A and B are shown apart, each in its own frame.
Chain A
């Protein structure tokens, strides 16, 4: 297969992973490849990356697909030409299968991982496979084998320092070793079966951002930054340019040229969008436990972006936590503080929406105005109590816009004690329990308002 055809194939693989690779990107890629020497692997890859992957996330997917694509291409060639490794020669000196010193192997693996020495890691990965793979030839599932071997070697990404005082291995270092293991296992499998396994889409785990709550927090913050823009600029076009009376001298003079310098048509300065005011109510009861961390991080991010914002958490009763967020910048401290002294851990622990609405209205009735936006984060499970949709309607009527983000899949709405539909007429309902859905919500915000 010629190089251009391969590149097109590669672009196809990228598209399958959801990258927007258009024809123009491909043309750019070819133009770029003409400028670099493509015997230089790094330059070749960078040239492709610069033209095909257009965001940090795309870049990550690109790396994964590139590695896999090149690997598969080489292996396919090897199978086609019948190239095999001499299976009787031991993979490294001094390592007769079955007699490998486990501790020695482990020490050397840790050393290689710490040094980031790719080729040593690969050799050791093969050694480890030779040592542990024999026992039953593996489970047939690569991921399981990788983890089994890693555990057998007792390699862990600890956060605690080891007893011997060495720095613990980081997750990233371990991941790279696992990658080597996986690749060698796959290579062995291909050699055994004489064919490539079917290409599978990168699984979500591989694709997800490096995990950990902090990263998730960053993603939420990014979305909320967009949310801020949407809230800040919405309705701007509806207001138009001439709704008030600051004459824009420059534009007026400019327009007057058409009438020989006589300012016939007055031009006005566009109105600066006013800062929105935000009221956010967040359910922290047990029925939304899994979602409330997400919700709290949304709240946390919102507080970073909006100055004029008041937030409330509720279970059976409502409690204002604006102060907590203003005092504490650290997310963990915030969630601790809310759990400790927000005063929502009421007797029953069951949500009482009716009571919450009444209290909320009593708290903010005088402050609510048509420029305010109310966002409710909750599952609308009333535990059989009166939903008091009428009070909610009064809140929605006083506020400019009202949104409800429900952490339950739409399938479960209105089952059991969920009364989402009772509130639906008064607000814009969105299903929301992941960052992408939060993004959808932000997009929905940008859509024209139904007056």
Chain B
């Protein structure tokens, strides 16, 4: 099966920030979390994918089709949500959706109406009268109604109350049941993505730090505390959090490896604890 998204050698330069060179491949049927601090390049990447920014170098393919500005087929399978929420302000939600539906041959009004109901959107309200949360919901309906196979979501839950946020995540969980869909979701609120994502990509300062299956990370990273006799420790890529006399508390990106070395150096009172995705992400993004 071809990739839902292939990014090759993407580069974009701004006055004081450079994105890339970036290489990325997303398979169909996967949810990928795009994680990084503010200013890391997440939004720029997504705007390049959606064709809103022209890259300086590189190529982006969506289900094998290049996202050139003057071709349109690739957009039928791309749903894009960011924080901009631009509509005909003085028109109602219904009028706006009707406008958008004209452009998509695959627009599904049954599905659109179902989403409207689930998000409790008042169709007759003018967009200027909507709260931010409702504008976000409208943007989501606009992006999902033609059932695009690739969803690019750039921090979509900002401005959403917990109920709407849960509803969005519920909808996303339903979407993944189809193994042809793919979701690329950028956020720095990890609780959004830690259950949904299959894979995580970490980006910092415009470069991809790591791309790994979520379960691998959860299986490998641990916090370990131990007592080092004679204060002899054999540590490699572990991060020391605390030292008090002979007692150590460390973070290990591969705890089996670490335990082997600790056992060799006869460490005592070893306790091992799992880490959640939030904690792991912080460590990954901190690394040099």
Q: Is the A/B pair a real complex?
A: no
Q: Report which A residues bind B (CB closer than 8 A).
A: none
